[in-house]
Chain A
């Protein structure tokens, strides 16, 4: 390692010497440039970040975005390689507790003054803000929020079942599913079978049954809560959801079911708000489906928070530093957040954006209202399935148990409780 460092320093030194005259000349007006990596390459996500890039260019910047398609972890592998090579991107997608973990392996940019200048802290949910300032300083900025437990209802499916009431509690939900089944839908629930999807079935059940127990067990890993009656009830509810899903979906994503969902061959889906973007991108209309907060047994909305964010890595180049400042200002800008969320189907991070205007769906308005309610009632919790509650290693160990439980109908809820507690113990 020491050899590489020396060589790198030598190289950096010589480049600096060569660039010095040019730098002195250009210092007055550097053209902001941003190197960024994210997983957003296609569909509504790709469209949204491309639109953000356009705005960046309109402000006179040079936008250099390299998408790494696939799961977030694929993007992380590229990020790891770049950091180890001493060449991190000026800005990269990263979220949840990973921000704290990764900020330990490479220096990040202190964004405190830019955030203070924009008065941003006042308009961000406190739990969310905490994740983005792990050492007490802002080093990352949240971009958009999703709830992972929104309830999607098919209009045609509801008509078929002759139902018009949106379920509020899990009991309502189960009743409606049975009604849909007797109306001829073999598989009333249109969820997929990927790992995060299986995680969502469980976290929606658990947080909907008791957000307090969820916070203690999943976010704080409290041993008593991990073996409590609420988590057992959550596993029982998860089993019901799994039984109503099409087993042939295997490990495929929910998107394979969307046509059947819209046609009314399947009636409901527990999905993140991003499914709205996917549905719209696939050409379906707002009239085809309803979005409501996920079932909650105490009647007040429970919000499973998932927020995408950008982390800013320290760079010496003045054009990249200017680019980082510009990017940070854009990400916090209400107009940019509005543009971004309208494309992807998320809701803005800023709680002061007015969603009553055109371009927002009822679902998004309901989601934003649910977030406000949930924050007020302390029912906004962090999503496990989407890497917000725990770091990757622990999350993956827990999802192993959840996905096996969903697929293996012979595991009893009480066995699953023990296995989950064991997995947490083993991965710590």
Chain B
């Protein structure tokens, strides 16, 4: 209040002085974090070309770190898992999120409570999610045991210790954690659809399913793409969830790139190779983010031209 009065009393204060706090608040942290990000990325890229093992050293080994990472079984398994986990997780969390959002959109009672419940997992850290699900999915103490104790003794749900299915336990836990996030975004999208358009469709005699399919869902495209990009970058950098849930096991069946990076750098003391794996991860991320940036750029251009 005092500030406002003071400014009003002295209109001579230049504009940039009045806005100085804003600039400081925005630019200083932004530049600091950008500098950190860029410096450390460049440093990692440099290390990936050196023969560093226990500690960073100078020297040049060309692409040797990259070829040895790409040839290792750990990385190959991690990459296959990433393709499977990434696509299954993004698709399924999209569908679950959309379904939840549509159901919540029916002006039901207790919407706020339900919305909080569905969003709540997002507030839990991935380590907690992973640990809790590792208990639930453990055949000896979790769901399988519960069903056995209830009398259905031939019931089997041992994906966690089955090396072919273990990757799906990560998909399950990840969807539980983050479909609430997709739901929230979709719900906001659904709410922002112009009520007049829906009314017009109703007057034209369209049923609810048809209205969703033809009128509401097409307007959700931009949100869908945002959700896909956010979830994909989560999938690519997934670490804590897997570490708590399966720790890459059984054996090395659920390795993911981030685990390989950590493993090489901090478990095997092969900094050069770890850095090379990290750079490969960055390239995968860029493969997702660059098309997204291009798409947004094109859209904005089209919007301003229109």
B48 in the interface, Cβ–Cβ < 8 Å?
no
The CA of A248 and the CA of B249, in the complex, are separated in Å by: 12
Contact status B161-A248, CB under 8 Å: yes
Contact status B249-A251, CB under 8 Å: yes
B237 in the interface, Cβ–Cβ < 8 Å?
no
B30-67 interface code vs A (CB 8 A; 1 in, 0 out): 00000000000000000000000111000000000000
The CA of A193 and the CA of B267, in the complex, are separated in Å by: 18
Specify which of A71, A76, A247 is in contact with B269 (CB 8 Å cutoff). A76
B266 in the interface, Cβ–Cβ < 8 Å?
yes
- A396 touching B246 in the complex, CB below 8 Å, given contacts A248-B161, A403-B251, A403-B252: no
B130 to chain A: closest CB distance in Å? Answer: 12
B253 in the interface, Cβ–Cβ < 8 Å?
yes
B189 in the interface, Cβ–Cβ < 8 Å?
no
B233 in the interface, Cβ–Cβ < 8 Å?
no
Contact status B251-A392, CB under 8 Å: no
Contact status A393-B140, CB under 8 Å: no
Residue of A nearest to B255 (CB): A400
Contact status B54-A426, CB under 8 Å: no
B71 in the interface, Cβ–Cβ < 8 Å?
yes
B13 to chain A: closest CB distance in Å? Answer: 42
B87 in the interface, Cβ–Cβ < 8 Å?
no
B139 in the interface, Cβ–Cβ < 8 Å?
yes
Contact status B250-A392, CB under 8 Å: no
A5 in the interface, Cβ–Cβ < 8 Å?
no
B115 in the interface, Cβ–Cβ < 8 Å?
no
Which A residues are in CB contact (< 8 Å) with B240?
A: none
The CA of A83 and the CA of B268, in the complex, are separated in Å by: 17
B105 in the interface, Cβ–Cβ < 8 Å?
no
Which B residues are in CB contact (< 8 Å) with A80?
A: 54-55, 269
B30 to chain A: closest CB distance in Å? Answer: 26
- A251 touching B73 in the complex, CB below 8 Å, given contacts A83-B55, A408-B163: no
A407 in the interface, Cβ–Cβ < 8 Å?
yes
Residue of B nearest to A74 (CB): B266
Specify which of A83, A249, A251, A406 is in contact with B247 (CB 8 Å cutoff). A251
B270 in the interface, Cβ–Cβ < 8 Å?
yes
Which B residues are in CB contact (< 8 Å) with A407?
A: 163, 249-251, 253
- A105 touching B54 in the complex, CB below 8 Å, given contacts A248-B158, A407-B163: yes
B137 to chain A: closest CB distance in Å? Answer: 10
Residue of A nearest to B58 (CB): A1
Specify which of B68, B139, B246 is in contact with A248 (CB 8 Å cutoff). B139
Contact status A400-B74, CB under 8 Å: yes
B206-232 interface code vs A (CB 8 A; 1 in, 0 out): 000000000000000000000000000
A283 in the interface, Cβ–Cβ < 8 Å?
no
A225 in the interface, Cβ–Cβ < 8 Å?
no
A250 in the interface, Cβ–Cβ < 8 Å?
yes
A139 to chain B: closest CB distance in Å? Answer: 16
The CA of A102 and the CA of B163, in the complex, are separated in Å by: 36
- A408 touching B251 in the complex, CB below 8 Å, given contacts A248-B140, A250-B160, A396-B268: yes
Which B residues are in CB contact (< 8 Å) with A182?
A: none
Residue of A nearest to B160 (CB): A250
B81 in the interface, Cβ–Cβ < 8 Å?
no
Contact status A73-B267, CB under 8 Å: yes
Which A residues are in CB contact (< 8 Å) with B54?
A: 80, 101-102, 104-105
A128 to chain B: closest CB distance in Å? Answer: 23
Specify which of B139, B250, B252 is in contact with A400 (CB 8 Å cutoff). B252
B72 in the interface, Cβ–Cβ < 8 Å?
yes
B138 in the interface, Cβ–Cβ < 8 Å?
yes
The CA of A80 and the CA of B268, in the complex, are separated in Å by: 13
Contact status A393-B53, CB under 8 Å: yes
Contact status A250-B266, CB under 8 Å: no
The CA of A104 and the CA of B71, in the complex, are separated in Å by: 29
User: Most chain-A CB neighbours within 10 Å: which of B55, B71, B158, B251?
Assistant: B251
Specify which of A84, A251, A396 is in contact with B55 (CB 8 Å cutoff). A84
B111 in the interface, Cβ–Cβ < 8 Å?
no
The CA of A83 and the CA of B269, in the complex, are separated in Å by: 14
Chain A residues 84-135 with CB under 8 Å of chain B are 84, 101-102, 104-105
B150-171 interface code vs A (CB 8 A; 1 in, 0 out): 0000000010110100000000
B263 in the interface, Cβ–Cβ < 8 Å?
yes
A77 in the interface, Cβ–Cβ < 8 Å?
yes
B163 to chain A: closest CB distance in Å? Answer: 6
Contact status B251-A404, CB under 8 Å: yes
Which A residues are in CB contact (< 8 Å) with B249?
A: 193, 250-251, 403, 407
The CA of A193 and the CA of B246, in the complex, are separated in Å by: 12
Contact status A404-B270, CB under 8 Å: no
A423 in the interface, Cβ–Cβ < 8 Å?
yes
Contact status B68-A426, CB under 8 Å: yes
Which B residues are in CB contact (< 8 Å) with A403?
A: 249, 251-252
Contact status A248-B252, CB under 8 Å: no
Contact status B250-A251, CB under 8 Å: yes
Which A residues are in CB contact (< 8 Å) with B161?
A: 247-248, 250
Which A residues are in CB contact (< 8 Å) with B139?
A: 248
The CA of A359 and the CA of B241, in the complex, are separated in Å by: 45
Chain A residues 179-205 with CB under 8 Å of chain B are 193, 198
B66 to chain A: closest CB distance in Å? Answer: 13
- A400 touching B73 in the complex, CB below 8 Å, given contacts A101-B54, A248-B140: yes
Closest 9 CB pairs of A and B: A407-B251, A248-B140, A404-B251, A407-B250, A251-B249, A393-B268, A396-B268, A73-B267, A403-B251
Chain A positions near chain B (C-beta within 8 angstroms): 71, 73, 76-77, 80, 83-84, 101-102, 104-105, 193, 198, 246-251, 391-393, 396-397, 400-401, 403-408, 419, 423, 426
Q: A80-B55, A397-B72 are in contact. List 10 more A-B contacts (CB 8 A).
A: A77-B266, A80-B269, A101-B54, A101-B269, A105-B54, A198-B251, A247-B161, A250-B246, A403-B252, A407-B253
Chain B positions near chain A (C-beta within 8 angstroms): 53-55, 68, 71-74, 138-140, 158, 160-161, 163, 246-247, 249-253, 263, 266-270
30 contacts between A and B (CB under 8 A): A76-B269, A80-B55, A84-B55, A101-B269, A104-B54, A105-B54, A193-B249, A198-B251, A247-B158, A248-B139, A249-B140, A250-B160, A250-B161, A250-B250, A251-B246, A392-B267, A392-B268, A392-B269, A396-B263, A397-B268, A401-B73, A403-B249, A403-B252, A404-B251, A407-B249, A407-B250, A407-B251, A419-B73, A426-B68, A426-B71
